[in-house]
Protein backbone atom coordinates (compact mmCIF):
# COMPACT_ATOMS: atom_id res chain seq x y z
CA UNK A 1 0.00 0.00 0.00
CA UNK A 2 1.61 3.29 -1.14
CA UNK A 3 1.32 5.74 1.78
CA UNK A 4 1.37 8.77 -0.55
CA UNK A 5 -1.53 7.48 -2.66
CA UNK A 6 -4.63 9.70 -2.76
CA UNK A 7 -6.73 6.68 -1.79
CA UNK A 8 -5.46 3.90 0.47
CA UNK A 9 -6.97 0.43 0.31
CA UNK A 10 -6.63 -2.52 2.65
CA UNK A 11 -8.45 -5.85 2.28
CA UNK A 12 -8.97 -7.95 5.41
CA UNK A 13 -11.45 -10.76 6.04
CA UNK A 14 -13.66 -9.76 3.11
CA UNK A 15 -13.77 -6.05 4.03
CA UNK A 16 -12.15 -3.50 1.74
CA UNK A 17 -11.14 -0.43 3.75
CA UNK A 18 -10.93 2.63 1.47
CA UNK A 19 -9.34 5.77 2.97
CA UNK A 20 -9.51 9.12 1.17
CA UNK A 21 -6.00 10.40 1.67
CA UNK A 22 -5.34 14.06 0.96
CA UNK A 23 -5.51 15.23 4.59
CA UNK A 24 -3.77 18.57 3.93
CA UNK A 25 -6.67 19.47 1.59
CA UNK A 26 -9.31 17.92 3.85
CA UNK A 27 -9.43 15.05 1.32
CA UNK A 28 -10.81 17.28 -1.43
CA UNK A 29 -11.11 15.57 -4.80
CA UNK A 30 -8.44 16.10 -7.40
CA UNK A 31 -8.46 14.04 -10.59
CA UNK A 32 -6.15 11.41 -9.17
CA UNK A 33 -8.32 10.86 -6.11
CA UNK A 34 -11.42 10.57 -8.30
CA UNK A 35 -9.83 7.86 -10.39
CA UNK A 36 -8.40 6.04 -7.37
CA UNK A 37 -11.77 5.97 -5.57
CA UNK A 38 -13.45 4.73 -8.70
CA UNK A 39 -10.83 1.99 -9.11
CA UNK A 40 -11.39 0.88 -5.51
CA UNK A 41 -15.16 0.59 -5.98
CA UNK A 42 -14.67 -1.15 -9.32
CA UNK A 43 -12.39 -3.64 -7.54
CA UNK A 44 -15.22 -4.37 -5.10
CA UNK A 45 -17.46 -5.09 -8.10
CA UNK A 46 -14.88 -7.41 -9.65
CA UNK A 47 -13.54 -9.45 -6.72
CA UNK A 48 -15.78 -12.05 -5.05
CA UNK A 49 -13.46 -12.06 -2.05
CA UNK A 50 -14.62 -8.51 -1.23
CA UNK A 51 -17.99 -8.72 0.56
CA UNK A 52 -18.22 -5.25 2.10
CA UNK A 53 -16.57 -1.83 1.62
CA UNK A 54 -15.81 0.68 4.38
CA UNK A 55 -14.96 4.25 3.30
CA UNK A 56 -13.43 6.88 5.58
CA UNK A 57 -11.12 9.90 5.43
CA UNK A 58 -7.54 10.41 6.65
CA UNK A 59 -6.91 13.19 9.15
CA UNK A 60 -9.52 15.52 10.61
CA UNK A 61 -11.96 15.62 7.67
CA UNK A 62 -13.97 13.12 5.68
CA UNK A 63 -13.96 15.05 2.39
CA UNK A 64 -14.29 18.75 1.45
CA UNK A 65 -15.73 18.04 -2.00
CA UNK A 66 -14.10 19.21 -5.19
CA UNK A 67 -10.56 20.62 -4.85
CA UNK A 68 -11.32 24.25 -5.65
CA UNK A 69 -7.63 24.96 -6.19
CA UNK A 70 -7.99 22.91 -9.39
CA UNK A 71 -10.95 25.05 -10.42
CA UNK A 72 -9.57 28.61 -10.14
CA UNK A 73 -11.63 30.65 -12.64
CA UNK A 74 -8.87 33.29 -12.78
CA UNK A 75 -6.58 30.72 -14.37
CA UNK A 76 -9.06 29.67 -17.06
CA UNK A 77 -9.68 31.02 -20.53
CA UNK A 78 -13.46 31.07 -20.24
CA UNK A 79 -16.31 29.65 -18.17
CA UNK A 80 -15.74 26.01 -17.27
CA UNK A 81 -17.99 23.13 -18.25
CA UNK A 82 -18.73 21.70 -14.82
CA UNK A 83 -21.26 19.35 -16.38
CA UNK A 84 -18.32 17.71 -18.11
CA UNK A 85 -16.51 17.39 -14.76
CA UNK A 86 -19.53 15.64 -13.29
CA UNK A 87 -20.00 13.38 -16.28
CA UNK A 88 -16.32 12.44 -16.40
CA UNK A 89 -15.41 12.14 -12.73
CA UNK A 90 -18.31 12.07 -10.28
CA UNK A 91 -21.23 10.39 -11.96
CA UNK A 92 -19.50 7.15 -12.98
CA UNK A 93 -18.30 6.66 -9.39
CA UNK A 94 -21.77 7.36 -7.98
CA UNK A 95 -23.28 4.85 -10.35
CA UNK A 96 -20.69 2.26 -9.25
CA UNK A 97 -21.53 2.96 -5.59
CA UNK A 98 -25.28 2.59 -6.11
CA UNK A 99 -24.98 -0.51 -8.30
CA UNK A 100 -22.46 -2.40 -6.16
CA UNK A 101 -24.25 -5.54 -4.98
CA UNK A 102 -22.46 -5.43 -1.64
CA UNK A 103 -22.93 -3.10 1.34
CA UNK A 104 -20.88 0.10 1.55
CA UNK A 105 -20.42 1.48 5.06
CA UNK A 106 -19.12 5.04 5.49
CA UNK A 107 -17.38 6.33 8.61
CA UNK A 108 -17.66 10.11 8.35
CA UNK A 109 -14.79 11.05 10.63
CA UNK A 110 -15.02 14.85 10.23
CA UNK A 111 -16.43 17.53 7.98
CA UNK A 112 -18.14 16.31 4.80
CA UNK A 113 -18.77 19.21 2.41
CA UNK A 114 -20.17 19.56 -1.11
CA UNK A 115 -19.67 16.46 -3.20
CA UNK A 116 -17.85 14.93 -0.21
CA UNK A 117 -21.10 14.96 1.79
CA UNK A 118 -23.15 13.65 -1.08
CA UNK A 119 -20.86 10.77 -1.95
CA UNK A 120 -21.19 9.63 1.68
CA UNK A 121 -24.99 9.92 1.48
CA UNK A 122 -25.08 7.77 -1.67
CA UNK A 123 -23.55 4.85 0.26
CA UNK A 124 -25.59 2.34 2.24
CA UNK A 125 -24.90 2.81 5.94
CA UNK A 126 -23.52 6.15 7.12
CA UNK A 127 -22.00 6.39 10.59
CA UNK A 128 -20.67 9.81 11.59
CA UNK A 129 -18.51 11.03 14.44
CA UNK A 130 -20.43 13.39 16.73
CA UNK A 131 -17.98 16.16 15.81
CA UNK A 132 -18.60 15.66 12.06
CA UNK A 133 -20.64 18.15 10.04
CA UNK A 134 -22.49 17.78 6.73
CA UNK A 135 -22.37 20.93 4.61
CA UNK A 136 -24.12 21.51 1.28
CA UNK A 137 -21.40 24.03 0.44
CA UNK A 138 -22.51 24.52 -3.17
CA UNK A 139 -24.65 27.63 -2.64
CA UNK A 140 -21.70 29.46 -1.09
CA UNK A 141 -19.88 29.35 -4.43
CA UNK A 142 -22.88 29.80 -6.68
CA UNK A 143 -23.37 26.13 -7.50
CA UNK A 144 -26.16 23.64 -7.07
CA UNK A 145 -26.07 20.26 -5.26
CA UNK A 146 -24.39 17.52 -7.28
CA UNK A 147 -22.88 14.07 -6.74
CA UNK A 148 -26.42 12.75 -6.28
CA UNK A 149 -27.21 15.24 -3.51
CA UNK A 150 -30.40 16.65 -4.98
CA UNK A 151 -31.73 13.08 -5.22
CA UNK A 152 -30.57 11.77 -1.85
CA UNK A 153 -31.46 14.86 0.20
CA UNK A 154 -34.94 15.08 -1.25
CA UNK A 155 -35.65 11.35 -0.93
CA UNK A 156 -34.27 11.12 2.60
CA UNK A 157 -35.48 14.42 4.05
CA UNK A 158 -38.23 15.84 1.85
CA UNK A 159 -38.27 19.16 0.04
CA UNK A 160 -38.34 21.52 3.03
CA UNK A 161 -35.17 20.24 4.68
CA UNK A 162 -33.43 19.54 1.38
CA UNK A 163 -33.99 23.11 0.26
CA UNK A 164 -33.05 24.47 3.69
CA UNK A 165 -29.71 22.69 3.65
CA UNK A 166 -28.98 23.40 -0.01
CA UNK A 167 -29.92 27.09 0.00
CA UNK A 168 -28.40 28.10 3.34
CA UNK A 169 -25.27 25.94 3.19
CA UNK A 170 -25.49 25.73 6.98
CA UNK A 171 -23.66 22.82 8.63
CA UNK A 172 -25.76 19.95 9.91
CA UNK A 173 -24.45 18.10 12.97
CA UNK A 174 -24.12 14.33 12.93
CA UNK A 175 -26.70 14.10 15.70
CA UNK A 176 -29.22 16.18 13.75
CA UNK A 177 -28.48 14.21 10.57
CA UNK A 178 -29.29 11.00 12.44
CA UNK A 179 -32.44 12.49 14.02
CA UNK A 180 -33.63 13.58 10.58
CA UNK A 181 -32.96 10.16 9.03
CA UNK A 182 -30.21 11.45 6.74
CA UNK A 183 -27.70 8.98 8.18
CA UNK A 184 -27.83 5.75 10.17
CA UNK A 185 -26.10 6.84 13.38
CA UNK A 186 -23.98 9.42 15.19
CA UNK A 187 -21.19 7.80 17.19
CA UNK A 188 -18.73 9.12 19.78
CA UNK A 189 -15.59 10.23 17.94
CA UNK A 190 -13.32 7.78 19.75
CA UNK A 191 -15.63 4.85 18.97
CA UNK A 192 -16.30 5.64 15.29
CA UNK A 193 -13.73 3.45 13.55
CA UNK A 194 -14.18 0.49 15.90
CA UNK A 195 -17.93 0.57 15.47
CA UNK A 196 -17.79 1.06 11.69
CA UNK A 197 -15.18 -1.68 11.29
CA UNK A 198 -17.17 -4.14 13.41
CA UNK A 199 -20.27 -3.46 11.33
CA UNK A 200 -18.38 -3.79 8.05
CA UNK A 201 -16.82 -7.08 9.18
CA UNK A 202 -20.27 -8.31 10.20
CA UNK A 203 -21.55 -7.53 6.69
CA UNK A 204 -18.45 -9.16 5.16
CA UNK A 205 -19.40 -12.47 6.76
CA UNK A 206 -23.10 -12.14 5.92
CA UNK A 207 -25.30 -13.35 3.04
CA UNK A 208 -23.69 -11.14 0.39
CA UNK A 209 -26.14 -11.85 -2.42
CA UNK A 210 -29.11 -11.25 -0.16
CA UNK A 211 -27.54 -7.96 0.92
CA UNK A 212 -27.01 -6.95 -2.71
CA UNK A 213 -30.62 -7.73 -3.56
CA UNK A 214 -31.84 -5.87 -0.47
CA UNK A 215 -29.85 -2.81 -1.54
CA UNK A 216 -31.31 -2.97 -5.06
CA UNK A 217 -34.82 -3.42 -3.73
CA UNK A 218 -34.71 -0.46 -1.35
CA UNK A 219 -33.15 1.78 -3.99
CA UNK A 220 -35.79 0.74 -6.53
CA UNK A 221 -38.52 1.72 -4.04
CA UNK A 222 -37.40 5.36 -4.33
CA UNK A 223 -38.67 5.50 -7.88
CA UNK A 224 -41.15 2.61 -8.28
CA UNK A 225 -44.88 2.74 -7.64
CA UNK A 226 -46.41 0.12 -5.30
CA UNK A 227 -47.32 -2.41 -7.99
CA UNK A 228 -43.94 -2.20 -9.68
CA UNK A 229 -42.25 -2.60 -6.31
CA UNK A 230 -44.29 -5.73 -5.50
CA UNK A 231 -43.08 -7.18 -8.80
CA UNK A 232 -39.54 -6.16 -7.92
CA UNK A 233 -39.82 -7.90 -4.54
CA UNK A 234 -41.14 -11.04 -6.25
CA UNK A 235 -38.13 -11.10 -8.57
CA UNK A 236 -35.47 -10.31 -5.97
CA UNK A 237 -36.89 -12.82 -3.47
CA UNK A 238 -36.91 -15.46 -6.19
CA UNK A 239 -33.19 -14.83 -6.68
CA UNK A 240 -32.46 -14.71 -2.94
CA UNK A 241 -34.30 -18.00 -2.42
CA UNK A 242 -31.96 -19.71 -4.87
CA UNK A 243 -28.77 -18.74 -3.04
CA UNK A 244 -26.70 -21.17 -0.97
CA UNK A 245 -26.74 -18.64 1.87
CA UNK A 246 -30.53 -18.82 2.08
CA UNK A 247 -30.35 -22.62 2.38
CA UNK A 248 -27.66 -22.24 5.04
CA UNK A 249 -29.66 -19.60 6.95
CA UNK A 250 -32.78 -21.76 7.18
CA UNK A 251 -30.79 -24.94 7.92
CA UNK A 252 -28.89 -23.18 10.70
CA UNK A 253 -32.13 -21.89 12.21
CA UNK A 254 -33.68 -25.37 12.20
CA UNK A 255 -30.48 -26.90 13.61
CA UNK A 256 -30.37 -24.20 16.34
CA UNK A 257 -26.81 -23.16 15.37
CA UNK A 258 -25.15 -19.99 14.01
CA UNK A 259 -25.19 -19.82 10.19
CA UNK A 260 -21.98 -19.82 8.20
CA UNK A 261 -22.60 -17.62 5.16
CA UNK A 262 -20.20 -17.86 2.25
CA UNK A 263 -21.53 -15.04 0.12
CA UNK A 264 -22.96 -17.44 -2.46
- Residue numbers of the site for ligand LHQ (CB under 6 A)? 25-26, 28, 64-69, 71, 82, 85-86, 111, 113-115, 135, 137-138, 141, 143, 146
For ligand LHQ, the closer CB: 26 or 187: 26
For ligand LHQ, the closer CB: 114 or 210: 114
What's the closest the beta carbon of residue 22 comes to ligand LHQ, in angstroms? 9
> How far apart, in whole angstroms, are the C-alpha atoms of residue 97 and residue 34?
13
What is the per-residue burial (b if ≥16 Cβ within 10 Å, else e) of 95-133? ebbbebebbbbbbbbbbbbbbbbbbbbbbbbbbbbeebb
Identify the three-state secondary structure at position 128: strand
For ligand LHQ, the closer CB: 103 or 114: 114
For ligand LHQ, the closer CB: 67 or 235: 67
DSSP state of 80: -
For ligand LHQ, the closer CB: 148 or 207: 148
What's the closest the beta carbon of residue 153 comes to ligand LHQ, in angstroms? 14
What's the closest the beta carbon of residue 97 comes to ligand LHQ, in angstroms? 16
What's the closest the beta carbon of residue 195 comes to ligand LHQ, in angstroms? 24
Query: What Å distances lie between residue 79 and 21, 83, 89, 137, 142, CA to CA?
Result: 30, 12, 18, 20, 13
Q: Angle, to 10 degrees, between the axis of helix 91-99 and the axis of helix 115-122?
A: 20
What's the closest the beta carbon of residue 169 comes to ligand LHQ, in angstroms? 9
> How far apart, in whole angstroms, are the C-alpha atoms of residue 125 and residue 197?
12
Amino acid sequence: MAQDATVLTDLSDGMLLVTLNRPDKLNAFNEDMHLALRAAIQRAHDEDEIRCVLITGAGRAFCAGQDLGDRDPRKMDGPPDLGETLATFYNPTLRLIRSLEKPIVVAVNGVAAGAGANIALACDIVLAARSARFIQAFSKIGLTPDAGGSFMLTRLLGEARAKGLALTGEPLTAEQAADWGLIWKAVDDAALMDEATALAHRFASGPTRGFGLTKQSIQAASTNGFDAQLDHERDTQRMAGRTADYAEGVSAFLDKRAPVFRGQ
